[in-house]
């Protein structure tokens, strides 16, 4: 079973590299510390926010909002669901050209009570400009 997850992780990383990662960013967040990222494209602006509220049993509860549509995710490190993906725009020609944001839960620091989360923008056609409203 571990080999399956290892294979899945490696294939995901290869796909991310092939998708031309743009703007990787890492955050060490305390509980309820909000990350705000503004996306600009085609004369429109879209706001993505996310924060974590609970860490228990190696699971992190993350709340996110994209253009005021809210969601909640339970993320784990090392296996299973460790990220969430947010589609930023509609496709122009095919599903391969859709830009999206990927937020990955990397680790939790028990001593500092912080969660390390990485943000990636996958945008093959460079349709989106990113403005980070929250610093690292």
**pTM confidence score:** 0.78
Mean pLDDT of 85-105: 85
pLDDT-based confidence at residue 12 (cuts at 50, 70, 90): low
CATH number for the domain including 95? 2.60.98
Mean pLDDT of 109-129: 93
Residues counted in the chain: 136
pLDDT score for 15: 52
Letter string b/e over residues 66-92, b meaning 16 or more CB atoms within 10 A of that residue's CB: beeeeeebebebeeeebbbebebbeee
pLDDT score for 22: 58
Q: What is the DSSP letter of 55?
A: E
- How far, in Å, CA of 37 to CA of 99, rounded? 14
> What range does the domain containing 22 cover?
2-132
> Looking up tokens 């060490």, which residue turns up?
28
Q: What's the number of domains the chain is made of?
A: 1
For 35-84, write each residue's pLDDT tens digit: 999 999 988 999 999 999 999 988 999 999 999 899 999 999 876 679 99
- How far, in Å, CA of 94 to CA of 122, rounded? 15
The answer to whether 70 and 63 have CB atoms below 8 angstroms apart is: yes
């Amino acid at each position: 079973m571990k080999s399956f997850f290892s294979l899945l992780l490696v294939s995901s990383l290869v796909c991310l590299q092939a998708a031309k990662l743009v703007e990787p960013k890492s955050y060490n967040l305390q509980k309820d510390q909000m990350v705000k990222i503004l996306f600009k494209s085609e004369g429109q602006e879209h706001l993505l926010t996310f924060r974590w509220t609970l860490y228990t049993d190696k699971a992190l509860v993350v709340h996110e909002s994209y253009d005021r549509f809210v969601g909640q995710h339970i993320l784990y490190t090392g296996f299973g669901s460790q990220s969430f993906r947010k589609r930023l725009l509609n496709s122009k020609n095919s599903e391969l050209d859709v830009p999206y944001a990927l937020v990955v839960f990397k680790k939790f620091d028990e001593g500092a009570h912080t969660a390390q989360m990485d943000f990636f923008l996958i945008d093959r056609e460079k349709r989106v400009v990113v403005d980070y409203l929250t610093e690292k």
